[in-house]
Structure 1
């Protein structure tokens, strides 16, 4: 199965271009496209984590509204969610 590649053009500030070229020149990446692809993969992963956090928060909120159980302060819920998704992000960063 062949992968379809589409070329696009992007505008970057000079300092980003310099960093990108430096990474390629140092041999960290084989091309500037590889740098951009990795950055987009990281961005997509971070975005998915954020969306999962919002969905989980909505689920917790819905359950809390339907339930007449003990009250959990919003700060506690937010702290738990923040720790959970930070741990996931840290673990993902450790494997890259």
Structure 2
């Protein structure tokens, strides 16, 4: 394993020490590895969400020209559609 030096605020260092002292983690390194796993998961979710949004954008562009819609009319149409469905 590679050893790194990191800088933490006093609050962060105290929180880490509390986590180790309470038995939640065996070491500071374990806390950092867990934090990195969570960061990697968040990044993966972010990449998936960006890809989903790009697909939705492409589908929207491919669906043709947009049209101007009056908000009150649209709302009335949606309410009518909902009533017709039951």
- TM-score, with normalisation over the residues of structure 1? 0.64
* Uncovered stretches (5+) of structure 1, i.e. residues with no partner: 72-96
Higher relative contact order (CA 8 A, sep 6+): 1
**Count of residue pairs the alignment pairs up:** 67
TM-score by length of 2: 0.71
Pair 1:17 & 2:10 matched: no
**Bigger radius of gyration, 1 or 2?**
2
User: RMSD of aligned C-alpha atoms?
Assistant: 1.7
2:24 maps to which of 25, 28, 31 = 28
Q: Which runs of 5+ in 2 are unaligned?
A: 68-86
Cα distance per residue 1:67-89 (max 9 Å; x no partner): 23888xxxxxxxxxxxxxxxxxx
Q: After TM superposition, where is structure 1 displaced by more than 3 Å over at least 4 residues in a row?
A: none
The offset of 1:20, in angstroms, is 0.1
